[in-house]
Amino acid sequence: MSNDFSTEYTERVDDELLLLASDRSALTTEAAAALDAELRRRNLTESDQAKYRQFVKRNGQREANRQRRKILGSVRDLRSWVDALWALIAIALISFTCLALPSRYHMKTDWQEAAFHAMFASVFIAVSSKVWGRKISFWMSLVISSAIHLVIVHSWMQRVGNFSRGQGKLAILLGFVLFFAVYGIVWMLRRNFYGEEPRHNI
């Protein structure tokens, strides 16, 4: 039996032998003796075995970190879906409230359609931007960009008439572009006035 172990271990590579040595308790007495003999023949010392155990431990930690990142990634994805759901709920509530108002408070049809595109972009920006949402400069930028967005989309609709699906998506995307442009200008103005972006809300 010992000869069988010796033959088997002779055919294995160093890493396999070191892996066996790291779990010596699982080996029989004959297998452990044959393994020690093969390790001595290859000049694989206790130091080599200790280094290999550290290597295995580091790999285990890396794998655990990868699994943790996957879990956190799935959590972030879930939060993104939740944010999108809240945005849709907010849009539905705003639309229902507008429709429930007496007709004398309703905007003209062309302004209503333009307002819907501006509202869609604004709500998604407000819901998804949790960090920026704590700053007054964020809300100032959102109000200004939404007003500009509304006027641009209304003028656009007066020229082309009703939007196609592609034009509607482009009109909503324009809201995001305008917001980042306005917020960038506000940020630069604050930086010029304060030397750096202030920590307090202004």
DSSP string, 101-138: S-GGGPPPHHHHHHHHHHHHHHHHHHHH-TTGGGSHHH
pLDDT in tens, 39-98: 888 888 888 888 888 888 888 888 877 776 665 555 555 566 665 566 567 656 656 665
Question: For residue 138, how many other CB atoms are within 10 A of its CB?
Answer: 20
The predicted structure's pLDDT at residue 92: 67
d(CA 153, CA 115): 8
Q: Which residue has the higher pLDDT, 138 or 1?
A: 138
Q: Where are the domains of the chain?
A: 2-44, 107-194
Residue 177 has pLDDT above 90, yes or no: yes
Categorize the per-residue pLDDT at 148 as very low, low, confident or very high, splitting at 50, 70 and 90.
very high
The predicted structure's pLDDT at residue 83: 59
Categorize the per-residue pLDDT at 174 as very low, low, confident or very high, splitting at 50, 70 and 90.
very high
Cα angle: 62, vertex 67, 72; to 5 degrees? 120
What average pLDDT does the segment 124-134 reach?
A: 67
Q: Which residue has the higher pLDDT, 102 or 65?
A: 65
The predicted structure's pLDDT at residue 48: 82
Residue 181 has pLDDT above 90, yes or no: yes
Residue 123 contacts residue 89 (beta carbons within 8 Å): no
Report in angstroms the alpha-carbon separations of 167 from 52, 156, 170.
61, 10, 5
Categorize the per-residue pLDDT at 152 as very low, low, confident or very high, splitting at 50, 70 and 90.
very high
The predicted structure's pLDDT at residue 201: 44
Q: Based on the number of CB atoms within 10 Å of its own CB, is 168 exposed (0-12), middle (13-18) or buried (19 or more)? A: middle
d(CA 188, CA 99): 39
pTM comes to 0.47
State the amino acid at position 141 in one-letter form.
S
Q: Report the SS3 class of residue 201.
A: coil
Tokens coding 142: 């959102």
The predicted structure's pLDDT at residue 200: 45
Categorize the per-residue pLDDT at 132 as very low, low, confident or very high, splitting at 50, 70 and 90.
low
The predicted structure's pLDDT at residue 90: 63
